[in-house]
Amino acid sequence: MKRIFFLAALALAFALCACRGTGLLPSGAALGGFADVDKPESYTGSTLYTYMDGGADFYIDQGFSRLYVRRYGRSNESFTLELFAMKDALAASRVYQSGRRPNKEKELAGGCLASITPAEIQAARGRYYFVGRNDDPQASQSDSLIELSRNVLNGIPGPCALAAKK
């Protein structure tokens, strides 16, 4: 029995270590003076359910590869950024289009349209679907969230899922 417990604990520790990673979410300092609130996290198809309580199947069905999560802060605000690496740009675009708010879209970074509400920003670029959230869902529009999201999106390779009209 002790051996089974030890092996289970060892497997859990290995899984937790394997879930760390930054992907395309750099340190807060590299993004314009934001603080890193927690260590970066990453999840694969087999660990995504530990991060999301419901909804993981949708991403997996659309071609999910990995999720990178990082939390940042500035002044009295805190933000959670999620970057979903999908199998290809079409998969990222499908996920974005399923949750976007067309009447709330604005150009955010490098000609890319993003769905922007006071508490959340969504965008897709290349094979990545991006979500930036103000950890206070009742917050008013945050210039810091817009700046943070813009800085991250400018670092993501690939074309915009939806480009601003010129």
- SS3 for 44? strand
Tokens standing for residue 48: 């995504």
Rg of the chain on CA atoms, in Å: 17
3-state DSSP helix/strand/coil % of the chain, to nearest 5: 35, 30, 35
Instruction: Compute the distance between CA of residue 158 and CA of residue 85 in angstroms, rounded to an integer.
Output: 12
DSSP label of 165: P
- Each domain of the chain, given as residue ranges in start order, spans 20-154
Residue 12 to residue 47: CA distance in whole angstroms: 11
Determine the Cα–Cα distance for residues 45 and 66; give it in Å rounded to an integer.
7
Residue 162: the pLDDT is 77
pTM of the model: 0.84
pLDDT tens series, the chain, 166 aa: 544 433 333 333 333 333 345 678 999 999 989 999 999 999 999 999 999 978 999 999 999 999 999 999 999 999 999 999 999 999 999 999 998 888 899 999 988 999 999 999 999 999 999 999 999 988 888 899 999 999 999 999 999 887 766 5
Instruction: Provide the pLDDT for residue 9.
Output: 36
